[in-house]
């Protein structure tokens, strides 16, 4: 482990007990996510299958992509003894899926996903995610904060989140990522959020968490990709700046886009003003992307996403 390796699992400074999330053991709804070639009878087949198993449909949202001819649907439903029944009905649903050539996932909302947040020195997105999770906006367990600097260690201690730091100045990239992957495996992490983590992940690392790494980029992609987009935007004299959240793939800043937002600027704004406005945008687009992922609302196809209600 590198010289920067630290842990604050038992840090004395903790968030007040009154701020901590309360948990219940009651059953939660399940979500069925599907994409397939569009054809007649898809919705009826899904509804009939759920009806036969005593499910109560709570909400449904669907979309047809005209260019690809693909059909997308998200169905949220309640079922008696949901966790016990889901595994058995999954096997039976295979017949319906095969008939319509479905790509599908059946998810229980009862289990809180375990999230690791990667951060470097800018902490605005990290603070926002920790706070939103604390007040119940994000239904997850933030199980680790991973960094290449020590700056976020006090914040991790305050929230009682295990902190892992390994410096790229001490470890070579393969060694650093191997150490991080080992830490993530021990923490049973389901989702990685890059909250202004200023390191490029290797293809081997990304392959361990396909479509389970969300990044925020401080520009309206595909414009001004790279490390200094605000400076590039200022030099170009743009009137809008933006921020983008996307899934991480092998190609830098080119994964499927989940959410974007923009803010208007003028000739009076300097680079520091662009950075300040950009940070507000980054917090919003990243938190929405994380929430939609945790709520099983995102389907990917090609290099695009469909975010269903």
Q: What is the pLDDT of residue 225?
A: 66
Measured CA to CA, the distance from residue 245 to residue 65 in angstroms comes to 22
pLDDT > 80? residue 2: no
Contact yes or no for 204/210 (Cβ under 8 A): no
Backbone phi, psi, residue 29, to 5°: -65, 165
65 is catalytic: no
Confidence label for 12 from pLDDT (cuts 50, 70 and 90): very low
Of the listed ranges 34-43, 176-185, 231-240, the one predicted with least confidence? 231-240
Q: What is the pLDDT of residue 23?
A: 36
Q: Which residues of 234-243 are buried (b: 16+ CB within 10 A; e: fewer)?
A: beeebeebbb
Contact yes or no for 194/213 (Cβ under 8 A): yes
Out of 3.30.70.980, 3.30.70.260, 3.20.20.20, 3.30.43.10, select the CATH number for domain 30-108.
Answer: 3.30.70.260
pLDDT > 60? residue 6: no
Q: In the beta sheet, which residues pair with residue 141?
A: 114
Predicted confidence (pLDDT) per residue in 123-171, tens digit: 999 999 999 999 999 999 999 999 999 999 999 999 999 999 987 777 7
pLDDT > 60? residue 16: no
Query: What is the average pLDDT value for the chain, to the nearest integer?
Result: 87
Q: Give the pLDDT mean for 293-306.
A: 96
Confidence label for 4 from pLDDT (cuts 50, 70 and 90): low
Percent of the chain's residues with pLDDT above 90: 68
The two tokens of residue 144 are: 């680790």
Q: What is the pLDDT of residue 269?
A: 86
Q: Give the pLDDT mean for 82-98.
A: 84
Predicted confidence (pLDDT) per residue in 227-256, tens digit: 677 677 667 777 788 899 999 999 988 999
pLDDT > 80? residue 5: no
Q: What is the pLDDT of residue 28?
A: 67
Is CATH 3.40.50.170 the right assignment for the domain spanning 111-307? yes
Predicted confidence (pLDDT) per residue in 76-89, tens digit: 999 876 666 787 88
Cβ-Cβ contacts under 8 Å for 239 (sequence gap 6 or more): 264, 265, 266
Q: Give the pLDDT mean for 113-117.
A: 97
The domain segmentation of the chain, as residue ranges, is 30-108, 111-307
Cβ-Cβ contacts under 8 Å for 115 (sequence gap 6 or more): 138, 140, 141, 142, 143, 189, 190, 191, 192, 193, 290, 294
Q: What is the pLDDT of residue 241?
A: 86
pLDDT > 80? residue 226: no
Q: Annotated catalytic residue: which of 35, 128, 253, 269?
A: 253
């Amino acid at each position: 482990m590198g010289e920067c390796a630290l842990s604050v699992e038992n840090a004395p400074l903790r968030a007040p007990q009154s701020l901590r999330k309360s948990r219940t053991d009651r059953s939660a709804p399940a979500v069925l996510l599907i994409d397939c070639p569009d054809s007649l009878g898809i919705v009826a087949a899904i509804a009939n299958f759920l009806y036969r198993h005593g499910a109560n449909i709570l909400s449904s949202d669907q979309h047809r992509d005209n260019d690809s001819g693909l059909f997308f649907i998200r169905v949220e439903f309640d079922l008696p003894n949901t966790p016990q029944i889901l595994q058995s009905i999954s096997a039976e649903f295979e017949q319906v899926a095969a008939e319509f050539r479905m790509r599908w996932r059946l998810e229980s909302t009862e289990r809180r996903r375990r999230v690791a947040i990667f951060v470097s020195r800018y902490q605005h997105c990290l603070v926002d995610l920790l706070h939103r999770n604390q007040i119940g906006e994000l239904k997850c367990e933030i199980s680790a904060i991973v960094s290449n600097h020590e700056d976020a260690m006090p914040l991790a201690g305050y929230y009682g989140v295990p902190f892992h730091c390994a410096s790229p100045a001490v470890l070579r990239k393969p060694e650093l990522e191997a150490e991080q992957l080992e830490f993530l495996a021990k923490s049973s992490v389901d989702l990685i959020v890059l909250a202004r983590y200023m390191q490029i992940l290797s293809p081997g690392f990304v392959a361990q968490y396909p479509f389970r790494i969300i990044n925020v980029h401080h520009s309206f992609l595909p414009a001004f990709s790279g490390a200094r987009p605000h400076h590039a935007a200022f030099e170009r004299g743009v009137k809008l700046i933006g921020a983008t959240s996307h899934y991480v793939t092998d190609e830098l800043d080119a994964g499927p886009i989940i959410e974007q937002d923009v803010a208007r600027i003028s000739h009076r704004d300097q680079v520091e003003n662009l950075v300040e406005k950009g940070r507000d945008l980054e917090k919003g687009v990243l938190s929405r992307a994380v929430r939609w992922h945790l709520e099983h609302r995102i389907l990917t196809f090609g290099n695009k996403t469909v975010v269903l209600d």
